[in-house]
Amino acid sequence: MIKQRRVLFAVLLLWTLAYAGKSTIGNPDEPLKSFFLGLADSLVLVGILYVVWNWVSKRRLLHARGLVRKIVFTLLLSWALLDAILSGLEAPKALESSAWVGVLSFFVSLGWSLIFVALTYLAWNWIAGFRARDNSAGLGKKMNKIYVDSGMALLHKLIITFNLPDWKELLPTYTEEEIEAINKSLSDFQKTADEVIGGSAIIHPEVVPTIQSKLASDALSELADKWKYSDELQTHWKDYVSTYLKAWAGNLSPLTLLNLGDLLVAAGHQIEAKNVFQLLLLFPTYADTYFYENPNARDLVEVRRFAKDITNFAKDRLNDLA
């Protein structure tokens, strides 16, 4: 509300000064008097707009998109037309000339007024544009964190609810099987890199932690996927859930969550499965960051398509559980 008011009154200030200046140009013989008369006239408009603003604010109508802008510029255009009509009526009397002078004065005054309205409109968009970008950036950062923060909260909830093994004070420890899977993934990556360059590949130290985290998380996720082929699911489902959570904590992958939700359904824990699928509905807010720091337009389309597919999968599973 405060930001909108600042924009509105910055525009009104511009209009007031412009109108007063126009009055001075129209009467060069008495510029000071004309300036203050024009200022007084324009302040009448400011008063009307202030009343309208308060009326709209009290009725909580500012949420309607563009309502304030439409009101402001409807009044400004009405004022411009009224001022032009008055100028057209007064000019023949003041100059003791024919009605054609009044017509000419009408169009000249209207032209000047429309120029000021256009400048005011540009100023409005310029000021509001900065506000919108600031708000959008702030909102984007908040929305970006919703998926991660909600996911971490759900991770902690599942650890406590199921009393999962290998988590001490909500921090993971790794089983021998998990460590073996991680080491194998890292080793395979190094072998592949060596084969590509035809020698011993050296990875830049700055990207090593990121690569290792991604490889380790993917390895854990693949290890947990074995539940799909297990004949002892009811005995070891907690182990698989724990491994999935370790994987997701490292890669934040929606596919990991999708498989985790399916596992919980198979294990008979539908409420917790619903929580996982509901979390996936938030993934589109994080999709751009998950894939790219600064995606180009083509990449962005593919990212959004993938995010939509993920949410559709989640919605289908939620409908099945309803």
Instruction: Supply the DSSP string of 83-122, one letter for each residue.
Output: HHHHHHHHHHHHHT--HHHHHHHHHHHHHHHHHHHHHHHH
Can you say whether the dihedral through the CA atoms of 58, 61, 66, 72 is positive or negative? Answer: negative
**What is the rounded end-to-end Cα distance, in angstroms, of the chain?**
40
Pairwise CA distance, residues 68 & 1, whole Å: 11
The most confident of 85-99, 174-188, 297-311, by mean pLDDT: 174-188
DSSP secondary structure letter of residue 207 = T
- Which residue matches tokens 């509001």? 128
Instruction: Supply the DSSP string of 265-276, one letter for each residue.
Output: HHTT-HHHHHHH
Check if the beta carbon of residue 80 is closer than 8 Å to that of residue 114: yes
The most confident of 19-28, 74-83, 136-145, 207-216, by mean pLDDT: 207-216
Lowest-confidence range among 75-84, 120-129, 182-191, 196-205? 120-129
* Average pLDDT taken over every residue of the chain: 76
- Give the pLDDT mean for 141-158: 84
Which of 47, 117, 43, 31 lies closest to 81, judged by CA?
117
Check if the beta carbon of residue 119 is closer than 8 Å to that of residue 257: no
- Give the pLDDT mean for 257-264: 95
Give burial (CB, 10 Å; 0-12/13-18/19+) of 42: buried
Of residues 137 and 190, the one with the higher pLDDT is 190
Give the per-residue pLDDT at 265. 94
Give the per-residue pLDDT at 301. 77
Of residues 297 and 268, the one with the higher pLDDT is 268
- Could you tell me the pLDDT band of residue 9, with boundaries at 50, 70 and 90? low
The SS3 of residue 41 is helix
Q: Is the pLDDT of residue 171 over 80?
A: yes
Of residues 145 and 93, the one with the higher pLDDT is 145
Of residues 133 and 202, the one with the higher pLDDT is 202
Pairwise CA distance, residues 117 & 96, whole Å: 31
Six token digits for residue 252:
């934040």
Lowest-confidence range among 56-65, 227-236, 240-249, 291-300? 56-65
Pairwise CA distance, residues 61 & 73, whole Å: 17
Of residues 18 and 130, the one with the higher pLDDT is 18
Give the per-residue pLDDT at 179. 92
Six token digits for residue 57:
């604010």
Give the per-residue pLDDT at 136. 42
Give the per-residue pLDDT at 132. 44
- Give the pLDDT mean for 139-155: 78
- Give the pLDDT mean for 28-39: 67
Pairwise CA distance, residues 59 & 210, whole Å: 52
